[in-house]
Amino acid sequence: MAPSTAVLAAAGYFAVASALHAQSFPGASVGHGFISIPVSADKRAAVLAKRDGSGYSDVSIQNLHISGYTIQIEIGTPPQTLDVAVDTGSVELWVNPNCDRSSLAKNETVNGQTVVYGDSVLTDPAECRKRGRYDASKSSTVGDPKMPSQFIVYGGQTTADIDYVSDKISIGGLSVDSQIFGTATDSNQTGIGIMGFGPARGGYNNSGTYPLFLTQLAKSGAIASPAFSLDLRDLDNATGSIIFGGVDKKKYMGALATIPFQTVSRKYSNSDNTYEEHSYYLTVKSMTLVRPDGSTKGYDIGGSFLTSLDCGSANNLLPVGVASAICADLNGTVTDSVGSCNVDCAARQRPGGVTFGLDGKDILLSYENMIEEFTGSNGQPSTCVVRNSDNVVFVNPFTGILGAPFLRSSYAVFDWGNSNLHIAQAADCGTNIVAIGNGTNSVPSGNSDCTSPAAKFVAQFGLALGVAVLSGFALL
């Protein structure tokens, strides 16, 4: 979710510390120098219904149907447990949303019919109050970094007013002392705090306003370099993972392609002055429909377009007209001016999808991951929505977003140390996590360990493998 304005130890010790600390994280799994904690994806309620010393940490992500992905963190001494949303499209970590202003629920009249928009568990006020809150007065390690307050605006109308504090933060047993973060004095349209995993505003090797959590992990020696892997899994899987300092070679097909992140020069409003904007920017060079019979059709994307990778975005935002063209090819119905599309739910189970051509790698976004099903209420049938829309917000240069739908079909490694993305087609053949080292070629190269025919079928057509996702398993 991109904001539009913004404002550890030696391996032997770490293995012991992780083993002890993991007990407070439900579903935690401990290995030699790393720990695995679930990351979840939060489901929507009925929406659109009529009336090793290995040097890495593997943190599970829960997938509850894609209003967002969440992880559990601990703040302070003694630790206070909270859930936060994972967001590669922003930078700040902040907690304590205003639950009284979190709701998105509303009724609208569409073509003479009443449509009820229900809250997801990320915006429901009752769920918000269950997610834990940070009380600075109960922590013996809280500090005041003496930084000015900030007002953050995300996509849509999600906002947060934050004051900065510092305190100990732990994720999956990896801890950073005196980490700076925000506590909300007010927020709107979110029932959960947000942990941004985007790069610092000053660049990948720049601390920006203050050092970020990933940078601090690398400086402490808990991981060898500031890098993490993201495995969101498909829509029907309950959990994925974020691995700090590691790569799971059984979660993708073929070799990881290395693509340098781009820096974008933009103009300030009402000024000819420019500034450098750092995000996970790359270029999409082609988009191609892959039909169930294997035949293809290319889309007109104006040659190529700049895009960012943002797991906090529920949709892919594409050049104007592309979302509508995809909808037509799926025999869907365009429901608004930005190409939002309803389709027959049977389309989710068809082989094929849309291939995105990047530098040196094609990623197939399966129909299963591109189309999301919302269960109807009061006896109404389910509604299936294609998670693409046209980006009608004018920015120069034009910038799209490859959101959670795209990232569910890919395995992505975000390498801050070298300002690179390493990406391949997602698969699931088990688990073999390899630590990321330090230096120019720090991310493990070569082919993945996924070679089974079933895994290849998943990579080509995006169909579920049926491999169980384990929470709380030991990686030794």
Cα–Cα distance list, 315 to 42, 216, 296 (Å)? 15, 31, 23
CB contact at 8 A, 241 and 62: no
Nearest to 78 by CA among 20, 155, 36, 141: 141
> E-assigned strands of 88-173?
93-95, 106-110, 113-117, 150-153, 159-171
- With beta carbons less than 8 A apart as the criterion, state whether 146 and 89 touch: no
Cα 464-465-470 angle, rounded to 5 deg:
105
What the block records as the tokens of 167 is: 């305190």
Smallest Cα–Cα separation from 411: which of 261, 285, 255? Answer: 255
Residues whose CB is less than 8 angstroms from the CB of residue 123 and which lie 6 or more positions away in sequence, other chains included: 67, 102, 103, 104, 105, 189, 190, 191
For the CA atoms of 194, 228, 281, 40, the dihedral, rounded to the nearest 10 degrees, stands at -40
Q: Which one is catalytic: 58, 231, 234, 310?
A: 310
ω before 292 within 30° of 0 (cis)?
no
Instruction: Indicate which residue of 42, 83, 87, 119 is catalytic.
Output: 87
Most distant CA atoms of the chain, gap in Å: 66
Is there a catalytic annotation at residue 310?
yes
Query: What Cα–Cα distance (Å) separates residue 345 from each residue in 52, 53, 341, 458?
Result: 44, 46, 12, 20
CA proximity to 254, closest of 405, 360, 407, 404: 360
Positions marked catalytic:
87, 310
